[in-house]
Structure 1
Amino acid sequence: MKKFLMAATVGVLTGTLLTTQVAAPLLAQEASKSSNVYEQLDLFGDIFERIRAQYVEEVDTKDLIEAAINGMLTSLDPHSSYLSPDDAENMQVQTRGEFGGLGIEVTQEDGFVKVVSPMDGTPADQAGIEAGDFITHVDGESVLGLTLDEAVDLMRGPVGSEIVITVVREGTPEPFDVSIIRDTIKLTAVRARTEQNAVVLRVTTFNDQTYANLASSLAEKVEELGGEDKVSGIVLDLRNNPGGLLTQAIKVSDAFLDKGEIVSTRGRNPQDGERFNATEGDLANGKPIVVLINGGSASASEIVAGALQDHHRAIVVGTKSFGKGSVQTVMPLRGNGAMRLTTSRYYTPSGRSIQALGVSPDIVVEQPRRNPVSEEDENAASPPSRSEADLRGRLNNDSLSEDEIKQIEQDRARAEAAAKLREEDYQLAYAIDILRGLAVMGGSQN
């Protein structure tokens, strides 16, 4: 018995010794890390005090600290930043759908401001600003070396005032200036119209209004066409949509899905990941859908396009999207400011991250650039066409009834409208053609 107790005691002592041997270096490592952090914070304090005491001009300590905080955040990635109380308030206003400015969504690349997309109907859109444009100067002042928020501040100003931005555009040999009059930006999240027998839903942003606008607009246009039986399909136009609220992207995706995953987010810690699933109910009632995207489709737009593509619920047409696959969380701070911090990446239902890759369309369709020509040149290039019907003394076709003649005239009018749409918006016309083809294959008479 004594031997047994002695053995047990030795075992306990040995276990304690081993634990101590392993734990001691780990504790020392943690203590060293903490010591390094405190040393760096002391260094920051020393620099701050020297600037405040010895800089050639007196500095505003509040501005100095905010600049240091923003520098720390912007060093992480282009989407993390500090929001001053004014910026935080402006961001809340933007998600409600009305704010002042030029109407462009921007990011930063190579030190310059890059346009993600102009918003429909805004001063920037009307001035011809395009997705992918680089803004190098604002009113003659270079934006190189400024943070994104500082560059955006330069572009802000009173409604009705003029701003001149210098733009560098791919395919254009020289930079050029664009004059824009600042205005109050009132965003209509969804604009709907009908093209032939298709409903076109143009989603410009994902704010608090988006899903409600989409649902009501779709119902209105279906009724306008004479009911679901008359609808050939839906075009969801997400081109130049810079994104917005994740919750709204989930709702819009869910609007056309009955089940399955919409998107998942994965952060630094596995337990912080989230998965969002569709609920039963399809606003389109199974009608075919074509999603239009381009290089200006970002973030929430890519969530919707990726979800509908992975579930084979829609055909995605256009060009590769922007490739913003990260999620930012806005965290309120003392003093009414906020911190916008990248906290996770999102993944489409098939498990792919589109960060820096974008969503690739099922069918790549470029939007041809317009090359304006004079009316005289256009007529010379396209001489008027002639047919049997134009010939004097032609024979009449007496084999058709009045109803058949009426149908032919309607078909001709539809073809002429399609040709006009193809000239105005080639990608949208392509999408409408796809829906018509699917309707024919499905036996529809629309």
Structure 2
Amino acid sequence: MNLIRKIKHSIVLLLTFSLFFAYVPAALGASAQQVEEVRGLLEQYHLKSPDDSELADKEIDEMVDSLDDPYTQYFDDQEWKAYSSELEQTFVGIGIVMMEEKGKIYVEDVIADSPASSVGIVAGDLLVAADGKSFVGKTMADIQKELRGEEGTVVALTVSRSGKELKFKITRKQVHVPVVSTKMLDQGIGYLALTSFTSEAGKEVKRELEKLEKNGLASLVLDLRNNGGGYVSAAQEVAGLFVKEGVLAHMRDRNGHDEPLSISGTSRPYEVVVLVNGNTASASELLSGALRDYGVGQLVGTKTYGKGVVQSLIPLKSGGVLKVTIQEYYTPKGKKVDQVGLTPDLTMSGAAEQLIGAFRLAGGTKLAVSWNKGILTLNGVRMSQPDAARKEGNLWYVNLKLGTEIAGAKLTYDAKSRTYTLTKGSQKETIKATDSRVKIKDGRTSIDVRLLAKWFKGVTFSASGETLKLGSR
């Protein structure tokens, strides 16, 4: 009998990158009945097929640890409530998305109508301290822990903005993170970012995709970067928006039985380019691999995480929930994903550079880029990229890799002569690393924007105050 149907529980693909809290499951105070129930379920379903001798006389946390599987977990009722909220992207917190840049944690985005937005926190703010506790040397998980708390409680948050420290008192409340955002980039090219496969993700993607199509969508950039996965059923729904009939993935259980996960939907008459990175995991890899195997879209970015195993959520009669690994999945063409990941068709680093690469691969040419206080906006899509530009006196410098991408050129470096070469068609421009128009700081190289505009026809720039604008056509 099909294992999925036999256990009759939701199958989820998960790799949780919590935005608002750090989560460490435990099995403190588990009853003898719960211990025995978990042991029986692990023996019956886990991909590794452990026997009773391997799990004997172990408490729940010890049994789970003995499997050496980071995705099999036991949740008590309180932990499950928190975890299920995370699956649906609903949190009690302040409402910010964070990113790490050179060991510092910045606000990448502020959720609309959240406590953080109401007090004036903005993307690009450097997180300094909470309730007087410095964030120096703290990880993102550490900061998440400081910012979480009970609904209605207050946290005193200190941020740095343009070198000036600002303090805010923020009252925590429940926040729902939008999982789909869209933009029309230009020339009929649409952009759709999906951050998590919640239970409603398929419906939300369908609704937003239809809006783009009504606005003249000719090709699509689908952004799955930093999407850690979610429900397989949601991935099936999204895949069905692009594949008329086929297999999302081949699911193999511990006995080697292959259970194809079917897709039934419709095809689209336009090209799709999928953005991925090292935090694209689980259900995101499932979808990315299928879209590529069926020739629907190419992948752009960096190699994905490599989580290719499936978990089932099993409520315990004695209380709590067991999340247990039951299968490994392979792409429709049989490519292994677990601990391997997916290698993009076009490998690129840098958030803005990747988006430019995807935009051009989708047929786009015209770029409008602005940068202000660490926030970069590219054809209407905002992102935090503190190192994208810098101002020295009255002169502006742009990150060399980003500037090269904006110009549509290719960058190479000769370490022996310490020379950068920018190539576009038959045109070649070179500059020494020691040239005064090149600035190197913290291992990042920037170039005078005037030089880029001089070298490459179609590149424009303007500056006003703390804002730099670059264009390319």
TM-score bucket (shorter structure)? 0.5 to 0.7
2:207 is the counterpart of 1:216: yes
Q: How many residues align?
A: 301
**How far apart are 1:292 and its partner, in Å?**
0.5
List gaps (5 residues or longer) in structure 2.
Answer: 1-49, 99-106, 128-132, 159-167, 354-384, 398-436, 438-447, 462-466
**How far apart are 1:74 and its partner, in Å?**
3.5
**How far apart are 1:205 and its partner, in Å?**
0.8
2:147–2:155 contact (8 Å) kept in structure 1: no
What is aligned with 1:315? 298
* Selected match of 1:190 from 180, 190, 200: 180
Q: Percent identity?
A: 25
| Compared CA separation, residues 34 and 205, structure 1 to 2 (3 A) | closer
**How far apart are 1:86 and its partner, in Å?**
1.1
* Selected match of 2:249 from 255, 263, 273: 263
2:242 is the counterpart of 1:241: no
| Compared CA separation, residues 332 and 416, structure 1 to 2 (3 A) | farther
- In the TM superposition, what are the counterparts of 1:235-314 in structure 2 within 5 Å? 235-271=221-257, 273-282=258-267, 285-314=268-297
> For the residues of structure 2 that align with 1:72 and 1:119, how far apart are their CA atoms?
38
> For the residues of structure 2 that align with 1:254 and 1:244, how far apart are their CA atoms?
16
Q: Deviations over 1:1-59 (max 9, x none)?
A: xxxxxxxxxxxxxxxxxxxxxxxxxxxxxxxx999679x53xx6xxxxxxxxxxxxxxx
| Compared CA separation, residues 164 and 324, structure 1 to 2 (3 A) | farther
What is aligned with 2:334? 351
* Selected match of 1:325 from 289, 298, 308: 308
List gaps (5 residues or longer) in structure 1.
Answer: 1-32, 45-67, 107-117, 131-137, 166-178, 226-230, 388-411, 418-422, 434-446
What is aligned with 1:73? 64
Higher relative contact order (CA 8 A, sep 6+): 2
What is the DSSP-based 3-state SS (H/G/I as helix, E as strand, rest coil) of the residue aligned with 2:215? helix
> For the residues of structure 2 that align with 1:302 and 1:36, how far apart are their CA atoms?
35
1:120–1:204 contact (8 Å) kept in structure 2: no
Q: Deviations over 1:375-414 (max 9, x none)?
A: 6231772339999xxxxxxxxxxxxxxxxxxxxxxxx8xx
Q: Deviations over 1:139-165 (max 9, x none)?
A: 889999xxx9x9987774135644999
What is the DSSP-based 3-state SS (H/G/I as helix, E as strand, rest coil) of the residue aligned with 1:77? coil
What is aligned with 1:58? none
Q: Given the two structures, how large is their TM-score scaled by the length of structure 1?
A: 0.56
What is the DSSP-based 3-state SS (H/G/I as helix, E as strand, rest coil) of the residue aligned with 2:239? helix
> For the residues of structure 1 that align with 2:453 and 2:124, how far apart are their CA atoms?
40
1:139–1:164 contact (8 Å) kept in structure 2: no
| Larger Rg belongs to | 1
> For the residues of structure 2 that align with 1:91 and 1:141, how far apart are their CA atoms?
28
| Compared CA separation, residues 386 and 190, structure 1 to 2 (3 A) | closer
| Compared CA separation, residues 92 and 125, structure 1 to 2 (3 A) | farther
What is the DSSP-based 3-state SS (H/G/I as helix, E as strand, rest coil) of the residue aligned with 1:336? coil
**How far apart are 1:194 and its partner, in Å?**
0.4
Letter aligned with residue 263 of structure 2: A
> For the residues of structure 1 that align with 2:453 and 2:389, how far apart are their CA atoms?
25
> For the residues of structure 1 that align with 2:169 and 2:328, how far apart are their CA atoms?
35
1:302–1:321 contact (8 Å) kept in structure 2: yes
> For the residues of structure 2 that align with 1:37 and 1:297, how far apart are their CA atoms?
34
1:73–1:341 contact (8 Å) kept in structure 2: no
> For the residues of structure 1 that align with 2:52 and 2:283, how far apart are their CA atoms?
42
1:85–1:338 contact (8 Å) kept in structure 2: yes
Q: Given the two structures, how large is their TM-score scaled by the length of structure 2?
A: 0.53
2:149 is the counterpart of 1:157: yes
> For the residues of structure 1 that align with 2:87 and 2:244, how far apart are their CA atoms?
27
Letter aligned with residue 279 of structure 2: G
2:96–2:110 contact (8 Å) kept in structure 1: no
- Structure with greater proportional strand content: 2
| Compared CA separation, residues 163 and 303, structure 1 to 2 (3 A) | farther
**How far apart are 1:195 and its partner, in Å?**
0.7
CA RMSD of aligned residues (A): 4.7
What is aligned with 1:82? 74
1:140–1:164 contact (8 Å) kept in structure 2: no
- In the TM superposition, what are the counterparts of 1:416-435 in structure 2 within 5 Å? none
